[in-house]
Amino acid sequence: MGIPSDLEIASAATLRPISEIAERLHIPEEFVEPYGRSVAKIDLAALTAPGQPTQQRAKYVVVTAVTPTPLGEGKTTTSVGLADGLARLGKTVAVTLRQPSMGPTFGIKGGAAGGGYSQVVPMDKLNLHLTGDFHAVTAAHNLLAAMLDNHLHHGNALGIDPRNITWRRVLDVNDRSLRNLVIGLGARMDGVARQTGFDITAASEVMVLLALASSVGDLKERLRRIVVGYTYDGRPVTADDLGAAGAMAVILKDAVNPNLLQTLEGTPALIHAGPFGNIATGNSSVVADLVATRRADIVLTEAGFGADMGAERFMNVKCRVSGLRPDAAVIVVTVRALKMHSGRFRIVPGKPLPDDLLAEDPAAVRAGIANLRKHIQIIEGFGVWPVVAINAFPQDHDSEHQVIRDLCAEMGVKVAVSTHVVDGGAGAKGIASALLEALEHPTHFRFTYESDAPLAAKIEAVATSVYGADGVDFAPAAAGALAAYEKLGFGGLPVVIAKTHLSISHDPALKGAPRGWRLPVREVRAAAGAGYVYAICGDMRTMPGLSRHPNAEKIDLSAGGEILGLS
């Protein structure tokens, strides 16, 4: 018999007062601003006020995964279950996670509060608005867009080239019809007509800089540096040039403070920011990690997608900003993911898993095991100890788990099976013990590239050292943009490579650990406010669409005010 739905489990939970959760992290009451009984904002003064801790205390652990199936492999559930498992072993623990976007919540993916008995609660609030941070990001982003178009309408004193404007608008809804449009149609007083479009709020540069800002002052500086487009003679135009940065900072005044929630077992969870994993950093906020690492014994933070994506950006981008260094990394793996990487099975979101994929087949796991091997090597390449967590499903077989254990034994890596979805923290005590053993070893952390390396060399370093590519092929436009960004002073920034999450390569059809391929970079853009340059490989959708039957069709509100159908 299956377990109740995530919403049923969350609704039946008895939550601790949020003041008690704050006390577990030794956060004084004056820095806790309640949003109802079960959510609070943590004032960033907790980082700077006299008498508050200023040094890292915690062991710092990043949770990543193998290259996922389209369904995801349970990094959030594992992060939550592992945090509860560590708490059961007597540790003061905090977990830091991204806030879910409502676009996927109402789309096909569903929410991102964890699952089963390893959830962050209240699950409904977390997936729907929470404290309004996403709306603040949307408003701040769109205010800048409005001021940009207003500047064009009133004479364009800065000489902005309307054909070279990079700042679009955002909305936290999946809506493919907004990807490309023309604005300013109608009478002359309706603005300047030009082509533009919408991205989802999680793809906003404002969202990324919110995640990377280390203080209110840093947030303001990053807002000022946002580049919205270029003049006719190629000079960048910033939010500061348009006089918009101050008002944007005001809109984000509360959003910059991380949100405090709890797991089903009362472990503190700091939920803050939600940047896209494909084109952005895919990590929760720096400030949430700073608050947590000064107060807990162990802090777990989740990085989006596989080790080649979110974990690489965690190491090379987030850790440069925060100054924190990871003590270990947990790699989440599932039997179904490794079977998919054998190339014998196809997994489609919204459809049942193929019957033959669920049958006992250790040979198929063995055929896809190269993907796990590569992700272990990626983590080891950063000088960080990896621990493998097998996120067990009821359809798994021990013979299939044994294939994973054998690889880990060969590579000298700790591994454990975790049943946290069904058993909560008790089901994660094995992986918690394995992690504690790994944390006894010293790390020798290293970046993939130095900050003063040329931008092209940084991209090549990630492609070859992390992905395993033979090299990089820059399209002429991309090479030209890199040269221009070096001249504009962006050469010292780290890089992000926007690519598919369904393969270690740029091609989602290449499963396992591809060899003998080169990374094609078709375009390069600067996220000067966030503080990185990103290379685009393939077609990256920054505004998702809805499926034929999205989750929104199932979600409703009862006459008594109870939320129904949320997943």
With contact defined as beta carbons under 8 Å apart, do 40 and 18 qualify?
yes
Give the integer Cα–Cα distance in Å for 455 and 475: 15
Give the integer Cα–Cα distance in Å for 338 and 352: 17
Listed in sequence order, the residues at least 6 apart from 118 whose beta carbon sits closer than 8 Å to its beta carbon are: 77, 78, 80, 81, 84, 263, 264, 420, 421, 424, 425, 428
For the chain, the average pLDDT equals: 95
User: What confidence tens digit (pLDDT) does each residue in 266-286 have?
Assistant: 999 999 999 988 889 999 999
User: What confidence tens digit (pLDDT) does each residue in 308-346 have?
Assistant: 999 999 999 999 999 999 999 999 999 999 999 999 988
Q: What pLDDT does 65 receive?
A: 98
Angle between helices 205-212 and 133-153 (to 10 degrees): 130
Q: Quick one: pLDDT band at residue 131, thresholds 50, 70, 90?
A: very high
CA-based end-to-end distance of the chain? 19
Listed in sequence order, the residues at least 6 apart from 177 whose beta carbon sits closer than 8 Å to its beta carbon are: none
Whether the pLDDT of residue 7 is over 70: the answer is: yes
Dmax (CA) for the chain in angstroms is 71
Listed in sequence order, the residues at least 6 apart from 555 whose beta carbon sits closer than 8 Å to its beta carbon are: 106, 563, 564, 565, 566
User: What confidence tens digit (pLDDT) does each residue in 205-250 have?
Assistant: 999 999 999 999 999 999 999 999 999 999 999 999 999 999 999 9
Write down all domains in the chain, each with its CATH number in brackets: 6-131+255-438 (3.40.50.300), 135-251 (3.30.1510.10), 455-536 (3.10.410.10)
Burial class (CB in 10 A: 0-12, 13-18, 19+), 240: middle
DSSP for 140-194, please give it.
HHHHHHHHHHHHHHTT-TT-EEEEEE---EEESS--GGGSSEEES-SSGGG---E
Q: What pLDDT does 1 receive?
A: 52
Whether the pLDDT of residue 108 is over 80: the answer is: no
Residue type, 360: E
Give the integer Cα–Cα distance in Å for 497 and 548: 31
Q: What is the sign, positive or negative, of the torsion defined by CA atoms of 454, 163, 142, 103?
A: negative
User: What confidence tens digit (pLDDT) does each residue in 355-383 have?
Assistant: 999 999 999 999 999 999 999 999 999 99
Q: Which residues of 56-93 are buried (b: 16+ CB within 10 A; e: fewer)?
A: bebbbbbbbbbbbbbbbbbbbbbbbbbbbbbbbeebbb
Q: What number of helices (H) and strands (E) belong to the chain?
A: 21, 26
Q: Which of 110-114, 265-269, 553-557 has the highest mean pLDDT?
A: 265-269
Q: What pLDDT does 56 receive?
A: 94
With contact defined as beta carbons under 8 Å apart, do 9 and 116 qualify?
yes
Listed in sequence order, the residues at least 6 apart from 99 whose beta carbon sits closer than 8 Å to its beta carbon are: 126, 130, 133, 134, 259, 271, 272, 273, 274, 284
Share of residues in the chain with pLDDT > 90 (%) = 88
Q: Quick one: pLDDT band at residue 112, thresholds 50, 70, 90?
A: confident
User: What confidence tens digit (pLDDT) does each residue in 501-545 have?
Assistant: 999 999 999 999 999 999 999 999 999 999 999 999 977 788 889
Give the integer Cα–Cα distance in Å for 556 and 546: 18
**Average pLDDT for 189-210:** 96
**Average pLDDT for 151-163:** 97
Give the integer Cα–Cα distance in Å for 93 and 25: 8
Q: Quick one: pLDDT band at residue 452, thresholds 50, 70, 90?
A: very high
**Average pLDDT for 187-204:** 95
3 state SS of 533? strand
**Which pTM does this prediction carry?**
0.95
3 state SS of 495? strand
**Average pLDDT for 96-103:** 93
**Average pLDDT for 425-442:** 97
User: What confidence tens digit (pLDDT) does each residue in 373-420 have?
Assistant: 999 999 999 999 999 999 999 999 999 999 999 999 999 999 999 999
**Average pLDDT for 128-147:** 97
Whether the pLDDT of residue 350 is over 80: the answer is: no
How far CA 283 is from CA of 87, 247, 309, in Å, comes to: 23, 26, 10
